[in-house]
């Protein structure tokens, strides 16, 4: 391949006698390189933004609902749920499952916030010290989160976290009392203190949930310490969701069979639901986003391939005399084809290098500065998200190089159509 590389370099203008003096080939090489670079940059940006958007939205959805939930198996769809028994026999076994990061009980209860000027329905979510505080901290606007200290208090806190939107509607500020009324054997009221506000930019959740101490809701429901609406299970890798959910199902079945009948709760049938089950519409929307990205990538690769095909044909036609001379000296068509394919691949490689540098630089600037904003009302985020999925980025580079290189094989056979005598006579 030494002679192939040498001739390709001379024709590419990497020597004094190269394409630098050609009227057409020189611009073709530069335009082809630029086109590949732009295509690669756009693909890199599309992947980083697409995966970043999907990751950010998924984190918000999971933050409010957890990856996997164990609850009572019944037909009750209201916020007044039936409890399950949460014992260490079950939680200890769940925590030992590979990929599980947390196992925490929760309680959901419907209530009504009432002030002098407004009334608002709300779903109180009772959490304990093991809940996903990192997520809540990431969306915190003012004040502090529930169970901000790692030291477990013996008495339930009366703090409550509301979304900034609800707090503004109700005219509430940090430290203000929040009176919530419950329809339970009549009307019951509880007074909480607003300790923090959050804003996830996800109105569907912000207008629905408020966070309180789980022990407060146990008192309201007259439940025992081991009773709760369900168990939330967090996992390390979202891609393992289905596999871990299967293991959780087996563990729940084992627990139901091994547990002795309870005097107060004789139904131990448990329902296992993943976040994909409970928020199927949102995840269908995210899956559609993946399809959009794939279509964009396919179109860019197709355009880049056509651009390289046209560039290769121009290089071959403008070097007809050179091809004729090579054939006169005994060069085979396959050797000459390899020369021009090598030239085209060199253009592709250079374009991909600069495209990656440009695309990754733009993404890095956005990642560290967030200078490109978004309208949270429409996109659920206040800035363009960036995630560097290196496996995906390397994969699209390899796929692009392979597809565009294979696309050059067919046009390279034009070399066989060129006759030495005719080519030299043209010169």
Residues 385, 53: contact at Cβ < 8 Å?
A: yes
Structure tokens at 195: 């300790």
Supply the pLDDT for residue 11: 64
Q: What is the DSSP letter of 260?
A: P
Q: How far is CA 220 from the centre of its chain?
A: 39
Q: Read out DSSP for 55-108?
A: HHHHHHHHHHH-SEEEEE-SS--SSSPPPEE--HHHHHHHHTSTTEEEEEEEEE
Which H helix or E strand runs over 174?
none
Q: Looking at residue 25, what is its pLDDT?
A: 61
Distance CA 379, CA 279 (A): 17
pLDDT score for 132: 85
Tell me how far the alpha carbon of residue 347 is from its chain's centroid.
33
Question: Are 29 and 19 a contacting pair, CB within 8 Å?
Answer: yes
**Around Cβ 152, how many Cβ atoms within 10 Å?**
8
Concatenated DSSP letters for 351-369?
HHHHHHHHHHHHHHHHHHH
Residue 106 has what pLDDT?
92
Say if residues 256 and 268 touch (Cβ distance below 8 Å). Answer: yes
Q: CA–CA separation, 108 vs 112, rounded Å?
A: 13
pLDDT of amino acid 268: 60
Q: What is the pLDDT of residue 266?
A: 43
pLDDT computed for residue 315 by the predictor = 77
Q: What is the pLDDT of residue 28?
A: 74
**Burial readout 52-89 (b: 16 or more C-beta within 10 A, e: otherwise):** bbbbbbbbbbbbbbbbbbbbbbeeeeebebebbbbeee
Cα–Cα distance, 272 to 231 (Å, whole number) = 10
Chunked mean pLDDT (size 10), the chain, 427 residues: 66 50 65 89 93 90 89 69 81 90 91 88 90 89 83 81 92 91 83 92 88 91 88 91 92 74 54 89 86 89 87 77 72 76 86 94 93 86 91 92 87 71 53
- Tell me what pLDDT residue 19 has: 46
The answer to whether 160 and 137 are in contact (CB under 8 A) is no
| Residue 50 DSSP class | H
* CA–CA separation, 425 and 427 (whole Å): 5
pLDDT value of position 422: 59
* CA 15 vs CA 31, 104, 254, 346, 370: distances in Å: 19, 69, 75, 15, 44
């Amino acid at each position: 391949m030494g002679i192939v590389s040498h001739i390709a370099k001379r024709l590419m203008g990497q020597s004094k006698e190269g394409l630098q003096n050609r009227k057409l080939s020189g611009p073709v090489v530069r335009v082809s390189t630029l086109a590949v670079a732009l295509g690669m940059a756009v693909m890199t940006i599309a992947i980083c933004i697409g995966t970043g958007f999907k990751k950010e939205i998924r984190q918000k959805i999971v933050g409010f609902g957890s990856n996997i939930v164990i609850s009572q198996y019944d037909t009750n769809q209201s916020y007044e749920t039936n409890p399950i028994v949460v014992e260490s026999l079950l939680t200890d076994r769940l925590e030992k499952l590979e990929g599980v990061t947390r196992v925490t009980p929760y309680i959901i209860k419907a209530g009504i916030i009432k002030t002098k000027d407004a009334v608002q329905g709300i779903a109180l979510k009772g959490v304990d010290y093991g809940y996903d505080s990192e997520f809540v901290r990431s969306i915190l606007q003012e004040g502090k989160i529930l169970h901000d200290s790692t030291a477990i208090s013996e008495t339930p806190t009366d703090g409550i976290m509301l979304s900034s939107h609800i707090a503004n509607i109700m005219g509430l500020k940090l430290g203000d009392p929040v009176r919530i009324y419950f329809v339970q054997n009549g009307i019951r009221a509880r007074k909480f203190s607003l300790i923090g506000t959050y804003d996830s930019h996800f109105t569907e959740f912000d207008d629905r949930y408020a966070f309180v101490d789980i022990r407060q809701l146990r008192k309201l429901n007259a439940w025992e310490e081991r009773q709760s609406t369900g168990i939330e299970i967090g996992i390390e890798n979202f891609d393992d969701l289905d596999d871990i959910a299967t293991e959780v199902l087996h563990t729940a079945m084992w627990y139901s069979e091994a547990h002795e009948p309870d005097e107060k709760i004789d139904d131990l049938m448990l329902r296992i639901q993943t976040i994909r089950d409970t928020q199927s519409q949102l995840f269908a929307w995210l899956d559609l986003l993946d399809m959009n990205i794939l279509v964009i990538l396919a179109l860019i690769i197709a355009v880049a391939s056509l651009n390289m095909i046209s560039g290769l044909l121009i290089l071959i036609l403008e070097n007809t005399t050179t091809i004729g001379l090579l054939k006169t000296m005994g060069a085979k068509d396959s050797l000459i084809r390899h020369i021009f394919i090598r030239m085209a691949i060199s253009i592709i490689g250079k374009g991909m290098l600069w495209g990656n540098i440009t695309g990754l630089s733009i993404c890095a600037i956005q990642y560290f500065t967030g200078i490109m904003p978004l309208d949270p009302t429409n996109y659920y985020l206040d800035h363009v998200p960036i995630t560097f999925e290196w496996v995906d980025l390397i994969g699209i580079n390899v796929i692009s190089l392979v597809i565009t290189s294979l696309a050059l094989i067919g046009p390279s056979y034009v070399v066989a159509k060129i006759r030495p005598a005719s080519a030299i006579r043209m010169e």
